[in-house]
Amino acid sequence: MSASPQRGRRRAENVSRPSLFALSAAGKGTRAAGRSSVTTTAKCMAAVAVVGALVAAGAVTQSEETTASAQNGANLLAAPGHASAPAVSAPLDAPITFPGADVSSKPSAAPTSAAAKAQAAKVEPIAAPSEAPSAAPSKAPAPAAAPVVVDDPAAAQAFASAELATRGWGAGEMSCLTQLWNRESEWLTSAENPNGGAYGIAQSLPAEKMASVAGDWKTNYETQIIWGLGYIEERYGSPCAAWGHSNAVNWY
């Protein structure tokens, strides 16, 4: 009874024990899998090495370019005639003033649209320079107006009467004077004798004698009367004496 179970265990052991062929095949598979895993890992490591080499080469190139740029900048600053501006230090809120403008480091509020329009309205456009007008040709001065002769017998007689009073002659002398100068000129300022050239109320001969009183003797009866009364007083002593001489010889 003890032998049977032993044979049964051997059979079971024989069934569960792998054969040499199976072990050999399993060993070959394991070695093949191991070689495949090693090959993949080597390829990955090689790729990583290539990428690293490329990255390192790019970094070296960029570093060389940066170094060259910095060296060029340093050479430019060190070149003669290129002096660096001195550093200026000032408070942050220091005001900076220019003619016509006030600049400060503090930010100023932006002008509103209404304020901007008001400022723009104050700005006057600069007008383009216009050509100076050409000077108009100067005109010759107009000739002075000729003096107007005043023929006014009534006014002339009134003036003569006042002059007689200043000389101490009365109304009788005025009557003689009126008749005398009525015969000579009818008391006209512009009266002129065509035969001898005597002129004016008193019939001065030559006429230019009356210029001793004033230059307007041709047109002003007052100038003529003043000269005529002086002539009568000097030559005859009174208007009535002159009138008597005129009646005797027809002239005075």
Query: Is residue 229 included in any domain, yes or no?
Result: yes
pTM: 0.45
Closest CA to 166 of 233, 119, 104, 115: 233
Q: Provide the pLDDT for residue 90.
A: 56
Given a cut of 80, is residue 216 above it in pLDDT?
yes
Confidence of residue 135 (pLDDT cuts 50, 70, 90): low
Query: Is residue 130 included in any domain, yes or no?
Result: no
Query: Is residue 12 included in any domain, yes or no?
Result: no
Query: Is residue 139 included in any domain, yes or no?
Result: no
Query: Is residue 89 included in any domain, yes or no?
Result: no
CA distances from 77 to 65, 71, 177 (A): 18, 10, 119
Contact present, 166 and 152 (Cβ < 8 Å): no
Given a cut of 60, is residue 45 above it in pLDDT?
yes
Query: Is residue 14 included in any domain, yes or no?
Result: no
Query: Is residue 47 included in any domain, yes or no?
Result: no
Residue with tokens 């509020």: 109
**Based on the structure, what is the number of domains in the chain?**
1
Between the ranges 5-19, 86-100, 130-144, 230-244, where is the mean pLDDT highest?
A: 230-244
CA distance 122 to 155: 70
Residue 229: give the domain boundaries.
153-249
CA distance 162 to 168: 10
Given a cut of 90, is residue 130 above it in pLDDT?
no
Given a cut of 80, is residue 188 above it in pLDDT?
yes
Read off the pLDDT of each residue in 180-188 and give the average, rounded to a whole number: 97
CB-based burial label for 43 (10 Å; 0-12, 13-18, 19+)? exposed
If one compares 202 and 61, the residue with the highest pLDDT of the two is: 202
Q: Is the preceding omega at residue 80 within 30 degrees of 0, hence cis?
A: no
Q: Provide the pLDDT for residue 6.
A: 46
Query: Is residue 143 included in any domain, yes or no?
Result: no
Contact present, 191 and 205 (Cβ < 8 Å): no
Contact present, 240 and 171 (Cβ < 8 Å): no
Q: For the chain, give the mean pLDDT.
A: 74
Token reading at 119: 């400022």
